[in-house]
Structure 1
Amino acid sequence: MSGSLLQRAQAGDQQAFADLTAPHRRELHRHCYRLLGSITDADDLLQETLVAAWRGLPGFAGRSTLRVWLYRIATNRCLNAIRDGKRRPPTVPVPPFEPPPPSRHDAVTWLQPYPDAWLDDPATAPPARVETRETVGLAFVAALQLLPPRQTAALVLGDVLGFPVADGADMLGVTPTAVKGLRQRARHAIRQRGAVAEGRVAAGVHGAQAELVRRFADAFAADDVDAVVDLLTDDAWLRMPPAPHEYRGRPDIAAFLLASAAGRAGRRLTLRPTRANGQPAFTCFLPTSRGAALEPSGVVVLDVVGDAIAGVTRFLDPRLPELFDCPVGGAAGPLAPLQG
């Protein structure tokens, strides 16, 4: 770290502060996303973190690295937001048809997809990029949301980011022994939910898996329910955040897809390939009621296992496709004016 850059930032130079924190902002955004499960909330908490860092920088004495100091601020801001109920509650959509009874209700309705473009940091070495993809998979991030918040933070700081126990203890304000216990309990819970990110998320799909994804897109867009179901595992699931409905198994998924197709009255989805959370995905568009113009209709993310599709997450928020057209790091864009 340049001493003169730090000194200028501490003296109130906002450009020096922006330059000082720029190498850390995208990883801090991913950190907030893992803890909160929502890009919308991660955007807010990144801004809060940077404002708090700006205000606290004159007192930064360098007893830890700047990166550790920033992560301490971000982690505690996220934990405070969870504790105080500041996360933006999602609006549950009202479907234009009567859906069949769900197999179960999903508790993590605030989950949002994370564009792969924001994971590719040219300044990051390739092994670190692989690690980032594996630890931002949807199943892993969703499972984190079901843990007690301090367990989530301890696990992410240690197992995802590689901070030593002593740093984790300092960030969370607990003893090293307590951090070890938090991590151990979190690892056990994640394993029980089958959400450990080991080989389920890769940089891309190729060959037979790429053909599988293409066949799914064609069948899903054509409302060919039989063809979609043929591509699923027997115990596949369909989730639709922010709706709490979850359908498990081929018969229940087929019943929902048939009802959904009927409810759209002939308006068929257009799918555009992309990637989210290190997984194959599609931005979705529907014809408007007045003509052939398309309007955004959410994002679909696939969980591909071997030669079949084990899960479909159909994010219903129509604002989401726009995120996938943002420049790299779009959600963590220009810093808002700093005060204080």
Structure 2
Amino acid sequence: MPQPADLRKLAPGLAAVAVAVLAGFLLHRVAAGIPVLTAAVVLGLLAGNIPGPAALAAGSWRPGIALAAKRFLRLGIVLLGLKVSLVDIAGLGWISVGLVIALVGFSFAATWFICRLFRLPGEESVLVAAGFSICGVSAVGAVAAARAVPAERTAVPAAMVTLCGTLAIAVLPLLSGMLGLSPDTFGFLTGASVHDVGQVVATAQTAGPAALALAVVVKLVRVLMLAPVSALAGLDHRRRSEGTGTYPPLVPLFVAGFLAAVALRTSGVLPSGVLDVAAGLQEVLFAAALFGLGVSVNLRQLARTGGPAVAASLVSWSLIVSGALILAVLLVPAG
């Protein structure tokens, strides 16, 4: 339990995080086209790079912001599990579920390969691949924990998945109109290619309730891959680091919490009111975490060296959208 002295150190940063989260929600309320999570990242970038706030972020705000970037993200991942019902997923049919899982594998491998071609440093290739193929910043955080990547080094991958997920909200409806996709086909495409659950909802709802319902279920198949992919990433990290000392757990505790939350949601014992509160709290926690991660991005350095990350992300997302579109056209009946 934190001591009073620890709480005093955390208070300034947590207060800054709270103000930023509130500002993000207000921006979204004023302009619905601005997702809360995107607003949080942008506010974090501003706070970490404008001289006055940047000095505070590197000083008295630092402990609280670091707590938000790491711990709040992990709590949000646990609550994400309450959105995943295995009953709903089974309703897709096992062939569709299997093909969506195959698409996750293809997306991860292709994104990793593209990021390596663009020479992204350190673990960024694995983190971007996880975020793009599974569930955005949640997957970035889970795989980072399994591979012992410090939270501050997840900032650029988190920013890239947020950028492309936000781009999807504008681009995919335009693409659907150009191709004349049915609502169900568009919903499948959205669920199979957009990163964050909130971004999936924002994109799919433009085509109506049928598209939204299918998009969410398809997306949840991808979200369910969070645990096995993070475990495989951890196994690979152990193999590469054999003999170098201690290792993080294969399945971090918060990922085990995510699986427990999935089981709880599937059981059907939680009333809809509790699930709604949990979903709202999850968005607050993710917004706080993304603000904290945004603060740690140095825009000058990103401008000098971040071109490859942006290029790799855009190429990867375009490839994922193409694969998801092919799958959607093949699996969803016309009409």
Give the TM-score taking structure 2 as reference length.
0.29
Structure holding more helix per residue: 2
Structure exhibiting the larger radius of gyration computed from Cα positions: 1
